[in-house]
Amino acid sequence: MAVGIFDSGLGGLTVLEAVTRRLPQVPFVYFGDNAHAPYGVRDAENVYGLTTAGVSRLFGAGCDLVILACNTASAAALRRMQENWVPSDKRVLGVFVPLIEALTERQWGDNSPPREVAVKHVALFATPATVASRAFQRELAFRAIGVDVEAQPCGGLVDAIEEGDEILAEALVRSHVEALKRRMPHPEAAILGCTHYPLMEAAFQEALGPDVAVYSQANLVAESLADYLGRHPDMLGPGDEGMFLTTGNPAAVSNKATQFLRRRIKFRAA
Ligand code: DGL
């Protein structure tokens, strides 16, 4: 009954933590494509190839349902995968929609026309590839009108996090927030649109100030997954063992994961 969690590297661990807390009885198989992170500077074709390879590995590990805990892959590859690639007995879901539903105060599956929402000025922090895709703005436009989104591509931040360099990561957060504020001085809400960024959530909140509501995906995705599995219990795959797989060096990746999550994590070669 395993469920797969995919990311380009360590960022999806923020989602893994939340789904494990919410669904402690479900074994999760985590796949980090650390050898190829960051995805945020790759083109869509490349991200598609890497994402399908990783998701195939998770299908092979007994997962019928895989969460792309990666906004870059969700933005650049998910739609194409769902249309042409995912076998009919498997499902692949992304992390965008739960976030946008929370921002627009919608219930799951509410397909009514777009309407005005309370939040009018939204800052989006994401990888260069996610920002370039405009996928967030497209999904938002299906649900809300009159929301001004200012997107900041946070070049370098995923690399710093993957390297375990928290000091550089904090400095990058401050400079990306400053750059954003030059264009939108008073955002009401900030979206952390990359699953690596919650590892730096305190730095974002500090740089943005206490009046800005910071939305990060982990808990929102966990609620959506619990809801989905309640309605589709058959999508719990045949795998019964949780594990951590990486395309990178298992010892090095385990050390960084342990540093970030402050509990012992042991990866094995994918
Ligand atoms: N954590 C991923 C995301 O949510 C990918 C970051 C990257 O590999 O650039 O976008």
Against a cut of 0.85, is the pTM above it? yes
Cα–Cα distance measured from residue 156 to residue 221, given in angstroms and rounded to the nearest whole number: 25
DSSP-based three-state secondary structure for 227: helix
CA-nearest residue for atom 2, ligand 1, is 70
Average pLDDT for 113-120: 89
- Tokens representing 136 are 């967030």
Q: Of 34-48, 146-160, 222-236, which range is least confident? A: 222-236
Percentage, residues of the chain above pLDDT 70: 99
Which domains does the chain show, CATH number per domain?
Answer: 3-94+218-269 (3.40.50.1860), 97-215 (3.40.50.1860)
Sign of dihedral through CA atoms 252, 257, 260, 264?
A: negative
Cα–Cα distance measured from residue 247 to residue 58, given in angstroms and rounded to the nearest whole number: 13
Q: How far is CA 52 from the centre of its chain?
A: 16
Q: Which of 218, 201, 242, 211 minimizes the C-alpha distance to 24?
A: 242
Locus of tokens 């190829």: 36
**Residue 98, burial from CB neighbour count under 10 angstroms (0-12, 13-18, 19+):** buried
Measured in angstroms, how far is the CA atom of residue 120 from the centroid of ligand 1?
26
Question: Residue 262 above 90 pLDDT?
Answer: no
Question: Residue 187 above 90 pLDDT?
Answer: yes
Residues 6+ apart with CB under 8 A from 218: 14, 15, 17, 18, 19, 195, 198
Q: State the catalytic residue, choosing from 50, 58, 194, 199.
A: 194
User: What pLDDT shows up at residue 112?
Assistant: 85
Measured in angstroms, how far is the CA atom of residue 74 from the centroid of ligand 1?
9
Across 131-178, the runs of DSSP E, i.e. the strands, are: 144-145, 148-153
Q: Which of 156, 159, 166, 151 minimizes the C-alpha distance to 199?
A: 166
Q: Quick check: is 154 catalytic?
A: no
Give the tens place of pLDDT for each residue, 13-70.
999 999 999 999 999 999 999 999 999 989 999 999 999 999 999 999 999 999 999 9
Q: Share the mean pLDDT of the chain.
A: 93
User: What pLDDT shows up at residue 181?
Assistant: 97
Q: State the catalytic residue, choosing from 70, 93, 123, 229.
A: 70
- Tokens representing 24 are 């402690």
Cα–Cα distance measured from residue 32 to residue 270, given in angstroms and rounded to the nearest whole number: 9
Question: Residue 270 above 90 pLDDT?
Answer: yes
121-126 and 144-145 strand pairing: unpaired
Name the residue of 39, 47, 176, 221 to mutate for ligand 1: max ligand atoms within 8 A of Cβ: 39
Please indicate whether residue 154 or residue 237 has the higher confidence score (pLDDT): 154
Spatial contact of 31 and 56, defined as CB atoms under 8 Å apart: no
- Residues recorded for the chain: 270
